[in-house]
Amino acid sequence: MTTAGHKPARGDRGDLWRGGWYRPAQRQPSPNFGPRPAGADISLIVLHSISLPPGVYGGVAVLDLFGNRLDWDAHPYFQTLRGLQVSAHFFIRRGGQIIQCVSGDERAWHAGASCWRGRANCNDYAIGIELEGLEGQPFAAPQYAALARLTADLARHYPIAAIAGHEHVAPGRKRDPGAGFDWARLQRQLMARLDRPLDWPRMAA
């Protein structure tokens, strides 16, 4: 029952999205995006991991990188990123905070040369989610909770059919999120939230 003065229910789809912007997320817009090809179905989620410098959490460097304002001279590692123009749709901090940098309707620059189930150029049809973390290391419990919620909400808003890691869409070139990411855990947390099955990377038993 709706009473005057009450906010709309949180589960209300119309309340969760404004265009391609996810309202529960904090916005930190990145200029690194472009239009998706006409008719692109937004059907894949690509998971990544990132921290800058690697293994240092909670700082502003990742968002500065996505915003093209990273001070390349502030750390020796940043030199390796000089001139790089990249972005992702979402960045999930260790504490589960979700930050959105690019509208889901637009094409973010996260996967590079990539292919999923025979279909190339994943950026054309993917949502990119960066988890604050270090390739190969474990991720934090609040990140799984936030990722499960975000994935379910994305799958209700877009025709998401599959979820994969950067390491799966660019094998041999990329290794994130790596062995520290627990796919089975995400799968368990998603099971109750999704109304249809997703295609998952084949995992070694």
Q: In the complex, which residues of this chain contact Zn ion (CB under 5 A)?
A: 48, 166, 176
Q: 106, 130, 135, 167: which is the annotated catalytic residue?
A: 130
Residue type, 173: R
How many angstroms separate the CA atoms of 186 and 36, rounded? 28
167 is a catalytic site residue:
no
The residue among 93 and 166 lying less far from Zn ion, judged by its C-beta, is 166
Pairing of strands 17-18, 126-132: unpaired
Q: 3-state SS of 182-205?
A: CHHHHHHHHHCCCCCCCECCCCCC
Q: Please choose, from the candidates 60, 89, 65, 66, the residue with its C-alpha nearest in 3D space to the C-alpha of residue 79.
A: 65
C-alpha angle 187-196-181 in degrees, rounded to nearest 5: 20
Instruction: State the nearest-atom distance from the C-beta of 191 to Zn ion, in Å.
Output: 25
Q: Which of 193, 196, 130, 106 is nearest to 160 (CA)?
A: 196
With contact defined as beta carbons under 8 Å apart, do 116 and 169 qualify?
A: yes
- Residue closer to Zn ion (CB basis): 104 or 178: 178
Based on CB atoms, which residue is closest to Zn ion, 23 or 173? 173
Q: How far apart are CA 167 and CA 186, in angstroms?
A: 17
Shortest distance (Å) from residue 121 CB to Zn ion: 15
We find the least distance from the C-beta atom of residue 133 to Zn ion, in angstroms, to be: 11
Judged by beta carbon, residue 8 or residue 53, the one nearer Zn ion is 53
Rounded least distance, CB 196 to Zn ion, Å: 26
As annotated, the active-site residues are 130
